[in-house]
Amino acid sequence: MTTELSQTEPTQFVEAAGIRFAYRRFGQTGGVPLVFLQHFTGTMDSWDPLVVDGFARARPVILFDNAGVARSSGSTPGNVQAMAEHAVAFITALGLKQVDLLGFSLGGFIAQVIAAEHPELVRRMILAGTGQEGGEGIRNLPQVLEQARQHSPDELRLFLFFEQTPTSQRAGREFLARQARRTADRDPESSEQTVGAQFTAIVAWGADADGRATARLQRITQPVLIVNGKNDIMVPTVNSFTMFRQLPRARLTLYPDSGHGGLFQYADAFVNEGVRFLGE
């Protein structure tokens, strides 16, 4: 049996900027920690254990709930900039001088802002299922969610995170089963306040950014690994290629037969590449 620290690691709390942040810290003790930045509506328990434990076997990892999310206090702000500031306050409160970031979707928006504005804090960054400010299709979240409600009322993520093929949908059901495995000390679902504020933040991030997005990407001089599925309907895959071209030091991996949740569908390949990338 492989170690599954994501299943048993207790939740801790740390206070910063008036927020009591819930977090879990585990994995290897040496090296720069990898901080996970979560997607729209997600909590610490929305991550795929295959991904979290895969990284934890090679690196120190930190999961946390940002301000207002699940068990963290405060209210969730309605813009990415403030979310990034909260994340920096949390990281700093842990006494960390340098971290690696893994940002998925909304978490990837936050990661970009942190890397651009706090270059000394971020060593390397993994961006999954995400896009630059003003990126193609990001502003269409309301329509995508409307469509999702029509397709699968019980499990939105099968529609939103996976391709509409039998293979990808099966991978999606396996992901959901893994993600539900932890039972003790589990985060509550995100509140309506959090979901509403995150929705606002995503739509605002998707608005025209003129040259601001390009300027931000060009300021991110850290090595970046970008990954996504072939047909991401939440943050269209073309944005991954655009970020690859504009970031000075990015590499890009796109998976077949997959969507927004490509990092979970191809968890083994993703962890293999991610661990190699962080170890360079």
Distances (CA, A) of 88 to 76, 97, 108, 218: 15, 10, 14, 21
In this structure, are residues 263 and 167 in contact, taking their beta carbons and an 8 Å threshold? Answer: no
Under DSSP, is residue 209 helix (H, G, I), strand (E, B) or coil? coil
Cβ closest to a copy of itself, residue 187 vs residue 232: 232
Cβ closest to a copy of itself, residue 186 vs residue 230: 230
Under DSSP, is residue 160 helix (H, G, I), strand (E, B) or coil? helix
- 276 is a contact residue toward a copy of itself (CB under 8 A): yes
Stretch that binds a copy of itself, among 33-41, 175-183, 190-198, 253-261 (CB under 8 A): 253-261
Maximum CA pair distance of the chain? 51
Q: Are strands 122-128 and 99-104 parallel, antiparallel or unpaired?
A: parallel
Stretch that binds a copy of itself, among 119-127, 178-186, 196-204, 254-262 (CB under 8 A): 254-262
Compute the least distance from the CB of residue 37 to a copy of itself, in Å: 22
Cβ closest to a copy of itself, residue 139 vs residue 230: 230
- 269 is a contact residue toward a copy of itself (CB under 8 A): yes
In this structure, are residues 102 and 36 in contact, taking their beta carbons and an 8 Å threshold? Answer: yes
In this structure, are residues 62 and 88 in contact, taking their beta carbons and an 8 Å threshold? Answer: no
Compute the least distance from the CB of residue 226 to a copy of itself, in Å: 9
String of contacts with a copy of itself for each residue 55-74, x by CB under 8 A: --------------------
Q: In whole angstroms, give the CA distance from residue 260 to residue 235.
A: 7
In this structure, are residues 206 and 139 in contact, taking their beta carbons and an 8 Å threshold? Answer: yes
Cβ closest to a copy of itself, residue 11 vs residue 222: 222
188-247: which residues touch a copy of itself (CB under 8 A)? 223, 230, 241, 244-245
Contacts of 266 (CB under 8 A, 6+ apart): 255, 258
- 173 is a contact residue toward a copy of itself (CB under 8 A): no
Cβ closest to a copy of itself, residue 142 vs residue 248: 248
Q: In whole angstroms, give the CA distance from residue 243 to residue 241.
A: 5
Cβ closest to a copy of itself, residue 179 vs residue 253: 253
Q: Are strands 19-27 and 34-37 parallel, antiparallel or unpaired?
A: unpaired
Q: In whole angstroms, give the CA distance from residue 30 to residue 142.
A: 43
Compute the least distance from the CB of residue 237 to a copy of itself, in Å: 8
Query: Of these, 64, 255, 264, 270, which contacts a copy of itself (CB under 8 A)?
Result: 255
Under DSSP, is residue 51 helix (H, G, I), strand (E, B) or coil? helix
Stretch that binds a copy of itself, among 90-98, 130-138, 146-154, 272-280 (CB under 8 A): 272-280
- 254 is a contact residue toward a copy of itself (CB under 8 A): yes
Interface residue list for a copy of itself (CB under 8 A): 223, 230, 241, 244-245, 248-257, 269, 272-273, 276
